Amino acid sequence: MPATLLTTQLLVSKLGLTLSAAERLHTLAPFLTPSVILNLGVGAYHLMVGLLLGTVKYAQIHSSKTATAHPYISTAHRASLMYGFASAQLAVFAGLSSWTERTNVGATVAAQTFFVSAVATYAIHGILRDTTNQLKAPHKLGERRQLPAWMVRGFMIALVIAEVGGCGVLTAGAFKTFYHILSTSSSFTM
Residue 49 is predicted with a pLDDT of: 98
Residue 1 is predicted with a pLDDT of: 47
Contacts for 85 with CB less than 8 Å, ≥ 6 apart = 43
Residue 72 CA to residue 127 CA, distance in Å, equals 8
Residues of the chain with pLDDT > 90, as a percent, come to 68
Among 7-16, 124-133, 151-160, the range scoring the smallest mean pLDDT is 7-16
Backbone angles phi, psi at 66, to 5 degrees: -100, 5
pLDDT in tens, 66-121: 999 999 999 999 999 999 999 999 999 999 999 999 999 999 999 999 999 999 99
Q: Where are the domains of the chain?
A: 1-31, 33-188
pTM for the full predicted model: 0.84
* Consecutive H or E run containing 131: none
Among 44-48, 79-83, 116-120, 131-135, the range scoring the smallest mean pLDDT is 131-135
Burial of 78 (0-12, 13-18, 19+ CB in 10 A): middle
Backbone angles phi, psi at 5, to 5 degrees: -65, -40
The neighbouring-strand residues paired with 139 are: 147
Residue 119 is predicted with a pLDDT of: 98
- Once rounded to an integer, what is the mean pLDDT over residues 120-131? 94
Residue 120 is predicted with a pLDDT of: 97
Contact 53, 120 (CB under 8 A): no
Residues of the chain with pLDDT > 70, as a percent, come to 91
pLDDT in tens, 166-190: 999 999 999 999 999 988 876 655 5
